[in-house]
């Protein structure tokens, strides 16, 4: 399968600071990446779809000014949690979708996730 | 909303086949069924996907009913390392022409020694 790298894997920050999470597709180009959020013992909740070279599409109820997404290249998308507060503490997971040129197209491959703790 | 429903949990004896069912009664004719699993505190791992024919790879087999309203993921010889939450997903088209996954609750599979 394809490899998606997510960094950092764990971050602790003070309330009011901003945190950036990176998602990279290492061995394929991804025009579309996705960001999810997961609370303990719950399923993944899609936050937004990140499209290379254009604005992200946010799911209903997700604050786009709070969760800034940038997809500047075909292998990198970033999620910035701005002015983080304790309620933003969660497990954030990204995925990248293979395109038609990949041997297995239209499959989402996931990063290992980032655990964010806001104090 | 997710387009799939799965049992909340299942147990399976080690070495036996694990059969995980999924209902997707509203699936459209050209929509694929995807299976992933998530081991605690990791990102989901791709297992297999299919459209209407049965599929097999090194991890599992996927059996899709003829009417495509349900499918079963089969792990032929379950091991303790297969203990995970298994998600059955039918992707949803977006307005931009791509597809997105809406995760349901999944099935928590526990493989017992």
Task: Mark the ranges of chain B whose per-residue pLDDT is less than 50.
Answer: none
Q: How far apart are CA B73 and CA B62, in angstroms?
A: 5
- Residue B102 has its nearest CB partner, among A46, A51, A109, at A46
Out of A6, A43, A106, closest to residue B104 by CB: A43
CB-based contact B96 A115, cutoff 8 Å: no
Task: Tell me which residues of chain B have a C-beta less than 8 Å from any C-beta of chain A.
Answer: 32, 34, 36, 38, 41-46, 49, 87, 91, 94-96, 98-106
Under the banding of pLDDT at 50, 70 and 90, the label for residue A100 is low
Who among B41, B96, B104 is closest to A51 (CB)? B96
- Which has more pLDDT, A107 or A2? A107
List of chain A residues whose C-beta atoms are within 8 Å of the C-beta of residue B44: 44, 93, 95, 110
Residue A53 confidence (pLDDT):
81
CA distance, residue A66 to nearest chain B CA (Å): 21
Backbone angles phi, psi at B82, to 5 degrees: -85, -5
A111 neighbourhood in chain B, CB within 8 Å? 43
Neighboring chain B residues of A108 at a CB cutoff of 8 Å:
34, 46, 101
Whole-angstrom distance, CA of residue B30 vs CA of residue A97: 18
What are the structure tokens assigned to B47, written together? 């297992």
Q: So what's the pLDDT on residue A105?
A: 66
User: CB count, 10 Å around CB of B10?
Assistant: 16
Chain A, chain B: beta-carbon pairs less than 8 Å apart: 61
Average pLDDT for residues A69-97, to the nearest whole number? 94
d(CA B20, CA B87): 10
Q: Give A7-55 pLDDT, tens digit per residue.
A: 999 999 999 999 999 999 998 888 889 999 999 999 999 999 988 888 8
Report how far residue B44's alpha carbon sits from residue B101's, in angstroms, rounded to the nearest whole number.
Answer: 12
Question: Residue B83, Cβ neighbours under 10 Å: how many?
Answer: 19
Given a cut of 60, whether residue A117 has pLDDT beyond it is yes
- CA–CA separation, B12 and B10 (whole Å): 7
Q: Are B67 and B50 in contact (CB under 8 A)?
A: no
Can you tell me the distance from the alpha carbon of A49 to that of A35, in angstroms, rounded to the nearest whole number? Answer: 7
Q: How far is CA B42 from the centre of its chain?
A: 17
CA end-to-end span of chain B? 36
Specify the residue for token string 């949803």.
B92
Q: Rounded CA gap, A45 and A95, in Å?
A: 12
Neighbour tally for A40: CB within 10 Å: 7
> Which chain B positions have a beta carbon within 8 Å of A43's beta carbon?
87, 103-106
């Amino acid at each position: 399968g394809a490899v998606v790298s997510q960094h950092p894997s764990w971050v602790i920050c003070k309330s009011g600071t901003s945190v950036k999470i990176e998602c990279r597709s290492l061995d394929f180009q991804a025009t579309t990446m996705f960001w999810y959020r997961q609370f303990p013992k719950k399923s993944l909740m899609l936050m937004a779809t990140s499209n290379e070279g254009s604005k992200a599409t946010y799911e209903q109820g997700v604050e786009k000014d709070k969760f800034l997404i940038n997809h500047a290249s075909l292998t990198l998308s970033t999620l910035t949690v701005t002015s983080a507060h304790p309620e933003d503490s969660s497990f954030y997971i990204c995925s990248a979708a293979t395109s038609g040129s990949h041997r297995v197209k239209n499959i989402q491959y996931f990063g290992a996730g980032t655990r964010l703790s806001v104090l | 909303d997710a387009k799939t429903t799965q049992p909340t949990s299942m147990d399976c004896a080690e070495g036996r086949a694990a059969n995980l069912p999924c209902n997707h009664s509203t699936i459209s004719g050209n929509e694929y069924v995807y299976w992933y699993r998530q081991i605690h505190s990791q990102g989901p791992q791709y297992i297999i996907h299919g459209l209407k024919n049965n599929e097999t790879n090194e991890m599992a087999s996927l059996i899709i009913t003829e009417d495509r309203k349900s499918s079963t993921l089969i792990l032929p010889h379950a091991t303790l390392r297969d203990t995970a939450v298994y998600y059955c997903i039918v992707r949803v088209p977006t307005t931009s022409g791509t597809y997105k996954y809406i995760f349901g609750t999944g099935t928590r599979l526990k493989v017992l020694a």
